[in-house]
Each structure stands twice: as C-alpha cells, then as structure tokens.
C-alpha cells in the first residue's frame, strides 16, 4: 500500500465504490425487487380472476421497482447487465497485462 501512488489509490477507491454499488443493485434486484414483482403479479392475477374484464395485463418486472437514478448512479447498462459486451473488461485486462487461460 505504501508503494502505491495517490492516483493509483484513487483509482482503487473508485473501483471499490463502483463494485459496492453493483453489489447493492444486484441484491436489490435479485431479492427485494423480484419479491415485489411476484407479489404484484400475484395480486393482479387474483384481481383479474374476480373482475369482469379478463384481459391480459402487462407483467411487472423487478426492474420496475428500481429507480432510474440508482441505475444511472451504479452505471448499469442493459448490454453489460445481460453479458453481451465484454469489450471494456477485455481492454482493462490488456492494460493491466493480464493473460487468459490460453
């Protein structure tokens, strides 16, 4: 730690803060927002059962319960969230001199 430059420490702190936000987002989405979506969809299904209008209603997703501000703060991007874009990670690994299993 003592051999690190202040700019390197700042970069490490920024990365740790980003990872903490991503962990909080993941926990929020996978546990609490999922549970809220299941409960909401269940109640709307029961209400449709007793209703005269039995049309199909839009299903509620866990992302509907998470604010856009929190997603922007955490830097959540749909492409990265679904795992389809690893270019930033690959570029970061190359800059650090890391090599793959090959």
The full DSSP string for 39-102 is: HHHHHHHHHHHHSS-----PPP-GGGGS-HHHHHHHT--HHHHTT---HHHHHHHHHTT-----
Looking at the domain assignment, is residue 1 inside a domain? no
pLDDT (tens digit per residue) in 5-32:
878 888 888 888 888 888 888 888 888 8
pLDDT band at residue 80 under the 50/70/90 scheme: very low
pLDDT of residue 18: 83
* 59-78: average pLDDT: 77
The pTM assigned to this predicted structure is 0.52
Looking at the domain assignment, is residue 81 inside a domain? yes
Total domains, the chain? 1
Looking at the domain assignment, is residue 83 inside a domain? yes
85 vs 55 pLDDT, higher one: 55
Residues of the domain holding 87: 6-95
Looking at the domain assignment, is residue 102 inside a domain? no
Looking at the domain assignment, is residue 69 inside a domain? yes
* 58-67: average pLDDT: 84
Instruction: Tell me the CA distances in angstroms from 19 to 16, 22, 47, 61, one per residue in order.
Output: 5, 5, 40, 24
Asked if 61 contacts 36 with a C-beta cutoff of 8 angstroms, the reply is: no
Looking at the domain assignment, is residue 22 inside a domain? yes
Looking at the domain assignment, is residue 80 inside a domain? yes
Looking at the domain assignment, is residue 100 inside a domain? no
* 27-48: average pLDDT: 88
Most confident of 36-40, 48-52, 82-86: 36-40
pLDDT of residue 78: 54
């Amino acid at each position: 730690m003592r051999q690190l430059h202040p700019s390197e420490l700042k970069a490490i702190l920024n990365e740790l803060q980003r990872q903490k936000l991503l962990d909080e987002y993941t926990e929020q989405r996978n546990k609490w927002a999922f549970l809220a979506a299941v409960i909401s969809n269940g109640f709307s299904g029961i209400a449709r059962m007793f209703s005269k209008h039995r049309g199909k209603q839009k299903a509620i997703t866990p992302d509907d319960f998470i604010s856009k501000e929190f997603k922007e703060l955490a830097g959540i991007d749909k492409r990265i969230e679904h795992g389809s874009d690893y270019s930033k990670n690959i570029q970061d690994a190359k800059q650090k001199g890391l090599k793959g299993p090959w």
